[in-house]
C-alpha cells in the first residue's frame, strides 16, 4: 500500500500476481474504510457473497461473478459472507498502462463503469476457474513469469477476455445513453485528477466541453446522481480514509482536500456524515 497524498492507495509491488486466497476474513479486514486501487484486478467469485461499492456504484457479488476493477478505482467493502472465496489476477498500474488497457477497452469503458460485475454461466465460470488455477501454478514456479512478454500476453488474454464477456453478457446501451456514459467516464477520470482542488461542477463541465446544465442532466441520467453529489462523495471518502488511517490533524486533511477554511470543512463533513471529523476518527 502506498500513502502518497495521505490516502490509502493499493498497488502491486510486482508486475503481476495471481492467487485464490481472498477469503471473507481478508475482505472484512478492509471493510472499515474506502481505499483507492491503483492496480488493475480481474476477479472471479467462486463462493459466497460480497456487497461493496466500486466508484460510487453499489454492487453485490455472488458465485460465478466476474469482476473488473480498473486502475484508480475507489472501492469499499460493506458486507461479506464467511464462506467467500475469490480468485484474482492483478497487474500493477504501470504494467496496465504499458499494456494499453485504455485503448483496448475504450469502447466498453461505459459498460464496465456502469456494471463492473458480470454473472457468468457455469460452464464459462468453470473455464475461468481453470485459467486462474493454471496461472496460480505458474506463478508459484521459480522464474516462470519473470519474462515481461509472457506477462504482457497474460494481460492481453484478460483484456480480450473482458471485451468478449461484455460483448456477450454486457448490457447494451442505446446511443443517447452511450454518449452520456462516455461523458460520465470523462467526468470520473477528471475527478480523480482534480477533486482535491476543484469542487465546482462548472469546472468539470468546461473541461468536458459542454454547458453546466447539459453536463448535470447527462451525469444524472448516466449515474443516477448529480455531479455535485459525486464530487462530495469522493471528497468524503478521501476524508474518511485519512481520518481512519493517519493521525494527521483535521486542519491538514482539510487543506489536502482543497478547503482553506478548517471550520467550513468541519461543517461540510458533518452535513454528510452526521458527525464531526474528530468524532468519526474516534468512532
Question: What ranges do the domains of the chain cover?
Answer: 16-169, 179-282
What superfamily does domain 16-169 belong to in CATH?
Answer: Jelly Rolls (2.60.120.10)
| 240 contact partners, CB below 8 Å, separation of at least 6 | 33, 34, 273, 280
pLDDT at 5: 42
Write down the pLDDT at residue 9: 53
Q: What is the block-wise mean pLDDT of the chain (283 residues), using blocks of 10 residues?
A: 44 88 80 78 96 87 96 86 94 89 81 88 94 88 78 93 88 63 84 91 96 93 86 88 86 94 94 93 86
**Rounded distance between C-alpha atoms, residue 138 and residue 134, angstroms:** 6
Within 10 A of 11 (CB to CB), how many other CB atoms are there? 16
Q: How far apart are CA 217 and CA 67, in angstroms?
A: 29
The pLDDT value given to residue 51: 94
pTM for this prediction? 0.70
pLDDT at site 6: 39
Q: Give the sheet arrangement for strand 65-69, strand by strand.
A: 16-23, 85-91, 40-47, 65-69, 117-119
CATH architecture of structural domain 179-282 = Orthogonal Bundle (1.10)
Strand 35-37 versus strand 9-10 pairing type: parallel
Amino acid at each position: 500500500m502506498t500513502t502518497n497524498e495521505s490516502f490509502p492507495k493499493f498497488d502491486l509491488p510486482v508486475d503481476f500476481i495471481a492467487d485464490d486466497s481472498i477469503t471473507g476474513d481478508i475482505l472484512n479486514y478492509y471493510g472499515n474504510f474506502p481505499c483507492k486501487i491503483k492496480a488493475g484486478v480481474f476477479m472471479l467469485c467462486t463462493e459466497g457473497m460480497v456487497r461493496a461499492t466500486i466508484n460510487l456504484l453499489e454492487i453485490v457479488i455472488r458465485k460465478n461473478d466476474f469482476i473488473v476493477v480498473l486502475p484508480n478505482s475507489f472501492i469499499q467493502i460493506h458486507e461479506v459472507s464467511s464462506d467467500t472465496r475469490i480468485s484474482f489476477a492483478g497487474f500493477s498500474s504501470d504494467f496496465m498502462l504499458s499494456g494499453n488497457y485504455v485503448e483496448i477497452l475504450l469502447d466498453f469503458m461505459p459498460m464496465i463503469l456502469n456494471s463492473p460485475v458480470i454473472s457468468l454461466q457455469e460452464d464459462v465460470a468453470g473455464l475461468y476457474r481453470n485459467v486462474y488455477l493454471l496461472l496460480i501454478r505458474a506463478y508459484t514456479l521459480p522464474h516462470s513469469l519473470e519474462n515481461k512478454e509472457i506477462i504482457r500476453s497474460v494481460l492481453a488474454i484478460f483484456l480480450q477476455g473482458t471485451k468478449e464477456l461484455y460483448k456477450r453478457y454486457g448490457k447494451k446501451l442505446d446511443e443517447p445513453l452511450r454518449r452520456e456514459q462516455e461523458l460520465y467516464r470523462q467526468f470520473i477520470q477528471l475527478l480523480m485528477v482534480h477533486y482535491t482542488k476543484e469542487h465546482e461542477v462548472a469546472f468539470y463541465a468546461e473541461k468536458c466541453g459542454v454547458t453546466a446544465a447539459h453536463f448535470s442532466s447527462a451525469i444524472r441520467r448516466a449515474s443516477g446522481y448529480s455531479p455535485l453529489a459525486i464530487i462530495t462523495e469522493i471528497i468524503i471518502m478521501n476524508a474518511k480514509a485519512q481520518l481512519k488511517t493517519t493521525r494527521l490533524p483535521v486542519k491538514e486533511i482539510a487543506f489536502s482536500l482543497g478547503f482553506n477554511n478548517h471550520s467550513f470543512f468541519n461543517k461540510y463533513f458533518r452535513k454528510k456524515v452526521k458527525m464531526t471529523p474528530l468524532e468519526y476518527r474516534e468512532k
